[in-house]
Amino acid sequence: MSTQQPEPNELAPATIAVHHGRPPVEPNQAMSAPVVLSSTFVSSNDGFRPEDRGYGRWDNPTWAALEETVGALEGGRALAFSAGMAAVAAVLDLVPLGGTVVMPTGAYSGSTQLAQQLAAEGLLNVREVSVADTDAVVAALEGADLILIESPTNPLLDVADLAAVGEAARAAGVLFAVDNTFATPLRQRPLDFGAQLVIHSATKYLSGHSDVLLGLTVTTDDELAARLHTYRTLRGAVPGPWEAWLVLRGIRTLALRVDRAGANAAELARRLVDHPAVGRVRHPSLPTDPGHERARTQMSGFGAIVSIEVRGDSAAADRVCAATRLWVHTTSLGGVESTLERRRRYPSESVAVPETLLRLSVGIEDVDDLWRDLDAALRQA
């Protein structure tokens, strides 16, 4: 950027992803934020001042570069955590003892498992709702403390009406958090729809190369940001500086990756609808998808996860995973590589997820190569 820098909020997200979180553009400054490997920072001799970094568990310049960038993308203040689950745990711990959290049916199994464990220990109550059913979501808010949803959900790809939930949550005085891992801030900005908190597993699209674990929270509320910062510091739920740097490095190409992967996903979803070995195809890009109209109004694209139900039984679905040669049979998602997995192979997965459902994480390869490999594996099974 030149010395005449445009206001950050005038920049498009694709530009923010490239330009934020860099050292000042001045002669002899580094182009890229450095990886600062230091457990402590030299003290001033005038007592501890708010701007002092102090200790490496409180703050780190590489985290700060990442947080500035993600904060600008989502429109709030970001905090980096050691993993997506550390960010989820931090948000669930905002619920007072004995309070109630509303969560989606058939969402990310790690988040559901943690909430259920906290419930089993008597620390909180969990109400599960289908996030696609706005009336049910609004009804579940009664007396709740937190609603923590995903949209689209992992792996059912249910789409919530974010504006309606945001309005109802505000009216009911319920804290509204959205796990935005699937959409990324380039496709959806929940804070613009009334959410007070956004969560990311940056392990997925933000980093994009299947080589790092990291999580983030983003909030527009300074008091919440301070509470989460204290939580992170005292629990030691901090990422390493290398991890923060890898995620920031990945974000530089986020716009290209989500464009390409999203286009591949929409094309594959369209072809899969007519595949003889496939029953239902879920992807919000499909005009027949129940979430299509809603996604069109609140997202600027549909994401790159496609879920399909293989005809036959779970063994047939397993055979598809075993038969692909290009698609990698593995868990996780959001990398440049296309991967697939039968989610119900885990006992912890929600029974709302069909036994034959395969979650496809569509990467940035050539779409015809992806199609040929998947088509062959489906026919073989």
Ligand X SMILES: *Cc1c(COP(=O)(O)O)cnc(C)c1O
Residues known to be catalytic: 57, 108, 179, 204
CB of 320 to ligand X, least distance (A): 21
**Closer residue to ligand X, CB minimum distance, 22 or 67:** 67
Q: Which stretch binds ligand X (CB under 6 A): 63-71, 106-114, 115-123, 263-271?
A: 106-114
Chain length of the chain:
381
Are 104 and 131 in contact by the 8 Å Cβ rule? The answer is yes
Residue 85 as a binder of ligand X (CB under 6 A): the answer is yes
Residue 381 as a binder of ligand X (CB under 6 A): the answer is no
Query: Of 147-176, which residues contact ligand X (CB under 6 A)?
Result: 150, 154
Torsions phi, psi of 216, nearest 5? -145, 150
Residue 92 as a binder of ligand X (CB under 6 A): the answer is no
| Tokens found for residue 276 | 């003889």
Helix (H, G, I), strand (E, B) or coil at 79: strand
Tell me how many residues contact ligand X (CB under 6 A): 16
Q: Which stretch binds ligand X (CB under 6 A): 84-92, 252-260, 266-274, 287-295?
A: 84-92
Are 128 and 106 in contact by the 8 Å Cβ rule? The answer is no
Query: Of 180-199, which residues contact ligand X (CB under 6 A)?
Result: 181
- The DSSP string of 223-284 is HHHHHHHHHHHHHT-PPPHHHHHHHHHHHTTHHHHHHHHHHHHHHHHHHHTT-TTEEEEE-T
CB of 366 to ligand X, least distance (A): 25
Q: Which stretch binds ligand X (CB under 6 A): 2-10, 80-88, 269-277, 339-347?
A: 80-88
Helix (H, G, I), strand (E, B) or coil at 167: helix
CB of 211 to ligand X, least distance (A): 12
Among 54, 61, 110, 194, which residue sits at the site for ligand X (rule: CB under 6 A)? 110
Residue 78: beta bridge partners? Answer: 218
Spatial separation of the C-alpha atoms in residues 23 and 244, rounded to whole Å: 15
Rg from Cα positions in the chain: 21
Among 89, 213, 255, 308, which residue sits at the site for ligand X (rule: CB under 6 A)? 213
Residue type, 326: L
CB of 149 to ligand X, least distance (A): 10
Q: Which stretch binds ligand X (CB under 6 A): 12-20, 103-111, 128-136, 367-375?
A: 103-111
CB of 11 to ligand X, least distance (A): 27
Q: Which stretch binds ligand X (CB under 6 A): 36-44, 104-112, 123-131, 259-267?
A: 104-112
**Closer residue to ligand X, CB minimum distance, 302 or 377:** 302
Spatial separation of the C-alpha atoms in residues 205 and 304, rounded to whole Å: 10
Residue 204 as a binder of ligand X (CB under 6 A): the answer is yes
Residue 244 as a binder of ligand X (CB under 6 A): the answer is no
**Closer residue to ligand X, CB minimum distance, 193 or 377:** 193
Sign of CA dihedral 90, 96, 98, 104: negative
Residue type, 306: V
Q: What angle do CA 108, 114, 115 make, to 5 degrees?
A: 90
Spatial separation of the C-alpha atoms in residues 183 and 202, rounded to whole Å: 12
Applying CB under 6 A, the residues found at the interface with ligand X are 83-85, 88, 108, 110-111, 150, 154, 179, 181, 201, 203-204, 213, 215
